[in-house]
Structure 1
C-alpha cells in the first residue's frame, strides 16, 4: 500500500480500470525549475512509458524562458541537430494530481539517449550526484523549503494584457500573521492545501506574509530529493489552481520595488540510523555530531559566493537583497535571528540550519545541490564557521555581503574551483552560459524604469 496520494503501478492500474485516472503527466524540470514534458494516455503509460520511458527534445536544456534555442551550448545546438534525451519515470514519485481531472503525475530523470546514464546537466541529476556521496556512509539529508508568493486578483491572461502593470494584490495592508486577511483568501488557499494533501504532500501551515497579498504555505520536511520534487509539485499546483480560479500567483523574488521579496528559505540536517547527527550528543564516525554540524555550517557559509546563481538565478533575484527587508544581505550566522543569512533553529532531533538566501524563484534541485555540496565540503575539510553574530546583522557593515548582482555571481561561479570540483567543469560551463544568457537578455532590454526616468528629462 502506497502513502496517501502516491500510487503503485497496481494501484494506478486499478484506478485506470475504474475510470478514475485517464491521463498521466510525465514531466521533468528545466533549468528555470518549470515542469516540462508530456501528457500520456493512462493505458499507454502502463503498457509502455512506465517500463521504457519516453523521449523529449534535448533543446529543452538549452532554451531561454521564451523557448528560443540559444546558441553557444556544447550539449545541444543546431549543428548537432537537437536530438532526443530519454525521460525515465521515477515511479517512487507517481502520485495523484488532485487539482486536475482524472490525472496522475510522475517526475522523470533525464538520461542520455545513447549512454542511458543521467544527463549531468539536468537539475535533478545534480542533486542526485550530491546524494550519491552520502550513500556510502548511510547518511541521509533531510530538508524543507519555505516558499513565499504573492496572490493577485488578476488572471494570468489579464496580467499579460496589462503588461503586468496596475495589478491588484489580494490584500491592501501588511497582513503578516493576520487571520482576517487570510480568511479573505481562504477559498484559494484551502483548495491548495487540500489538493496538495491529496497529492501526497503533507501540509503544515498557511499564513499571511509581510507584503500586500503576500502569503506562505509550508509543507512538511522530507528527504532532500523528495522535498525538491514536492517543491516543484507545490508550485505547479498553486499556479494551476490560481489559473482555474481566474487569479494568479507569482514566485518572483522581488515582485514590487516597495514590497518585501519572496524567499525560499532552506532548512537542512543530516541523519543516520534515524537520528539527527547535527545533535551534539550523536556520534558520526570518529567525531561528534556537534563537529559535523559546525563544519557543515562553515562550508555552507564559505561557498555561498561559489554557488550563488543556484540560489538567486535571475536578474530580479538580486533586487530582494535589501537591508531591513527580511532578506539577508550579509554572510553570517546566528541563533534564531532573522537578520542572518544563516539562522540556526531547533534543538536535539530538530536542530537544523536555515539558509535564508534563496529566493522563491530558485530551482530547488539546484539550490539543494549547492547547499549539500557546500556543507559536505565543510565536513571533509573541517571548515570552521565565523563566530556567531549577536545583534542586527543589517547594521554590521564589516561583514562580507552576498553578491548583489547576477553578473557578479556568475563571474564568481564561472571561476570557482569548488564549483568545478563539486559539479564538474561541463556543468559549470553549461550553467555559466545559461546565466549569462539571462543577463544579456536583461542588458539589451529597455525597461519601464528607463522610460520613466529618461523619456522627458534626458
Structure 2
C-alpha cells in the first residue's frame, strides 16, 4: 500500500504534467548530516536526472562547517582538482516536500565519476555496506528509530545570528516535560511540522515537551534502517525550514546551554528475519527474555562504543552533554527500562529492542546507524557476552567504564581501532579521523565567551 507523501515515478510524472510539482530537491548529506544538493526543474529531472543522475563537487565530502575546502584529505584535494562525483537518485526516497510549494525531494547515493563505484566515505554508502553485511550474514534486516530532541526559540535564525546567539528567548519559561499546557503554546509550530512530515511520507507518532526550557521531542515511526536515516534527515530539514518561515529557530545542538538538558537522538534498534523479530526469545537475561542474537548484539554494541564513538558524538559540543544526572548517559552499561543506562532494553516479545541513549541530536544518522549495526553484528559473529544487567542508578556507579570525555579522546580511539578499520575500511577511518581532528582543531584555535568572561579582568 503506497505511503502518503511518497511518489512512484508514474505519480510524480502526473503531478509534473498537472503543474503540481515544479521543483525537485536532489540531495545527499555531508559528514555533519546536513542536506546538500541542488534544486532541479521538474521537467528537466524527468528528461535527464531521472535517467542519468547529476553531479556535485567532491569537495563537499571534505568541507568543514564553513564550507572551506580542508587540506589533508586523500579522497579530494586541490592537487586532484576537486572534480565531480555522480549523484544517483534513489527513487524509493522520492516524496513531496510538503512544507515547500510545488516541490518534491529525492535522496541520492554517491558514486565515483570515473569508476562508477560507490564512494566509500559518503555517509549513506557506509550504512548501505553494513546493511548488506547483515543481509549476507543471515538474511537479517535492521529496523531502527531515532528519537530527536530539539530546542525551539522565539528568535528567528537571522536574529539569533545577529545577536551572536546570546540572550535568546526559549519558547517556554519553565521545565515542561510532558506538560500539555506549555505544549499547547507551541502547537502552532509543532502541529504544522507534524502535518508536513506526515504529508511527506513520514509516519508521526507523538510530540511532547522535554526537560529543558523550550525543549521538545517529536517522534516518528520506526522503519528499516536506511529509510529511517533518510526520514531523520528530512525531519530536520523540514523542522528548520518551517521554523525559519514562521520566524522561529530550532537547534539540534547536543548541548545548547550550560545547565540545561542536552538534546539526544536515542537510537532504537532490532534485527528481523523472515518477518519476525530475531531478538525475541524465551531465554532469561536478567529481567528480560530474549534470543542469543539479542544477547550477543547487545554485547557487541556495548563493547565497541569506544571504537566508534565519534559516529555517535561527532562535534566538540557533543561531549558537553554527557553530564551525570542530566538524562544523558555517562557510563557503558545496560539495564531494563532504566534511563540512567547507556543501553536501555525495552519491550518484550515482538517489540523487544535496544535503545542506545548515547547519540546526541547532532549525530549523522547514517553514520550512527552504521556504527550501531556493525557493533551488534560483530557481537553476534564473535558471541560477545554483555555485562550483567545493572540495577540502580548508573550515574552513581563510578566503577563502570565511562564514555570518552572529549572529541579529541574519542577520535584517537577511533583512529587506532582495529575494529573500525576492519569494519569500515582504512580509507574511511583515515578520512573521518581527519574530519574529526579538523573539527577539534577549529575549536582549539577559537577564543570563546567563556575565556573572555573568565580571564579578561581577573587573570
Q: TM-score range by the shorter chain?
A: over 0.9
Aligned positions, number = 453
For residues 369 and 51 of structure 2, the distance between their equivalents in structure 1, rounded to whole angstroms, comes to 29
Question: Matched residue of 2:4: which SS?
Answer: coil
Question: Matched residue of 2:344: which SS?
Answer: strand
For residues 281 and 192 of structure 1, the distance between their equivalents in structure 2, rounded to whole angstroms, comes to 41
Equivalent residues of 1:9, 1:46 under 8 A apart: no
**How far did residue 289 of structure 1 move?**
6.0
Question: Matched residue of 1:126: which SS?
Answer: helix
Aligned equivalent of 2:428: 427
**How far did residue 135 of structure 1 move?**
2.0
**How far did residue 47 of structure 1 move?**
1.0
Aligned equivalent of 1:182: 183
Aligned equivalent of 1:345: 346
Matched, 1:413 2:441: no
Q: Unaligned stretches of 5+ in structure 1?
A: 283-287
Aligned equivalent of 1:285: none
**How far did residue 138 of structure 1 move?**
2.0
Question: Matched residue of 1:359: which SS?
Answer: coil
For residues 116 and 104 of structure 2, the distance between their equivalents in structure 1, rounded to whole angstroms, comes to 25
For residues 290 and 134 of structure 2, the distance between their equivalents in structure 1, rounded to whole angstroms, comes to 15
For residues 132 and 340 of structure 1, the distance between their equivalents in structure 2, rounded to whole angstroms, comes to 30
Q: Deviations over 1:409-436 (max 9, x none)?
A: 0000000000000100000000000000
**How far did residue 9 of structure 1 move?**
1.1
Matched, 1:44 2:28: no
Aligned equivalent of 1:255: 256
Question: Matched residue of 1:56: which SS?
Answer: strand
For residues 132 and 257 of structure 2, the distance between their equivalents in structure 1, rounded to whole angstroms, comes to 40
Once the two structures are superposed, the pairs formed by residues 184-333 of structure 1 within 5 Å of their partners are 184-281=185-282, 290-333=291-334
RMSD of aligned alpha carbons? 1.0
Matched, 1:3 2:20: no
Equivalent residues of 1:146, 1:266 under 8 A apart: yes
Moved more, 365-374 or 137-146: 137-146
**How far did residue 115 of structure 1 move?**
1.0
For residues 387 and 21 of structure 2, the distance between their equivalents in structure 1, rounded to whole angstroms, comes to 54
Q: Deviations over 1:95-134 (max 9, x none)?
A: 0000000000000001000111110000000000001112
**How far did residue 2 of structure 1 move?**
3.3
**How far did residue 82 of structure 1 move?**
0.2
Aligned equivalent of 2:112: 112
Aligned equivalent of 2:286: none
Moved more, 425-434 or 130-139: 130-139
**How far did residue 19 of structure 1 move?**
1.1
Question: Matched residue of 2:291: which SS?
Answer: helix
For residues 65 and 47 of structure 1, the distance between their equivalents in structure 2, rounded to whole angstroms, comes to 34
Moved more, 170-179 or 108-117: 108-117
For residues 200 and 57 of structure 2, the distance between their equivalents in structure 1, rounded to whole angstroms, comes to 28
Question: Matched residue of 2:118: which SS?
Answer: coil
Question: Matched residue of 1:36: which SS?
Answer: strand
Aligned equivalent of 2:388: 387
For residues 409 and 235 of structure 2, the distance between their equivalents in structure 1, rounded to whole angstroms, comes to 31
Q: Deviations over 1:253-291 (max 9, x none)?
A: 000001000000000000011100100159xxxxx9611
Q: Unaligned stretches of 5+ in structure 2?
A: 284-288
Question: Matched residue of 1:81: which SS?
Answer: coil
Aligned equivalent of 1:399: 400
For residues 139 and 359 of structure 1, the distance between their equivalents in structure 2, rounded to whole angstroms, comes to 27
For residues 3 and 150 of structure 1, the distance between their equivalents in structure 2, rounded to whole angstroms, comes to 29
Q: Deviations over 1:300-323 (max 9, x none)?
A: 000000000000000000000000
Matched, 1:54 2:54: yes
For residues 324 and 222 of structure 1, the distance between their equivalents in structure 2, rounded to whole angstroms, comes to 31
Aligned equivalent of 2:74: 74
For residues 360 and 75 of structure 1, the distance between their equivalents in structure 2, rounded to whole angstroms, comes to 28
For residues 193 and 51 of structure 2, the distance between their equivalents in structure 1, rounded to whole angstroms, comes to 32
Matched, 1:127 2:119: no
- After TM superposition, the score normalised by the length of structure 1 is 0.98
For residues 457 and 38 of structure 1, the distance between their equivalents in structure 2, rounded to whole angstroms, comes to 50
Question: Matched residue of 2:340: which SS?
Answer: coil
- After TM superposition, the score normalised by the length of structure 2 is 0.98
**How far did residue 92 of structure 1 move?**
0.2
For residues 81 and 401 of structure 1, the distance between their equivalents in structure 2, rounded to whole angstroms, comes to 43
